[in-house]
Amino acid sequence: MLSYYKVLLKGLKENFPERGDLFKELIKKNVSDIKFTFSPKVYQQLKYFKNHPISQYTKIHLEIFKEFYPTYDIFQPDVEISILKIDPKGQKAIYRFRNSVFLENNEDYIYHLYFMCGLTEGILEREIHREVKCEVENYHVGGGKEDSYFDISITIK
């Protein structure tokens, strides 16, 4: 399945260069058609998001994100996620992803980052009933996946 997905990503990038944001929006708009199976722990965390005021607990929400992200990115079960920064008000965080199969030694599959941003926005907005922005902040393609990384930000409004 991964090889089919990579071919799709590469084809989209070749035929629609500089359109990552368009595909992000397409995924976000259709996230309800994707069936997820989260663990009971993840559902409990998402329920916690929904039932607590964002202004008081946003930092906790942003810290928890790195725990449940791998449950819906089936192509990257071994991705390593670290928190680079959480703003003082706790409404924006920047995460670094390492060990991604989509940044091994070229940018052919970079649209995966935009797909995941759209998916993340759609899931979080649905679950916490708040506006969410997820953006690709930075990426670096090294000699292999262990040398490459990408940074994604999440802002909860």
Whole-number percent of the chain with pLDDT over 70: 85
- For 42-105, strand residue ranges (E) read 80-86, 92-98
CA distance 91 to 155: 6
How high does pLDDT run on average in the chain?
Answer: 84
The whole-angstrom separation of Cα 115 and Cα 2 is 14
Domain count, the chain: 1
**What average pLDDT does the segment 59-78 reach?**
74
- CA 45 to each of CA 61, 64, 122, 127: distance values in angstroms, whole numbers, following the listed order: 8, 8, 16, 10
pLDDT for 133: 94
Amino acid identity, residue 36? F
pLDDT at 24: 95
CA distance linking residue 68 with residue 142, whole number of Å: 26
CATH number, domain containing residue 30: 3.30.1380.20
- The whole-number average pLDDT for the span 69-91 is 81
Domain holding 49, by residue range, is: 2-156
Say what the pTM is. 0.84
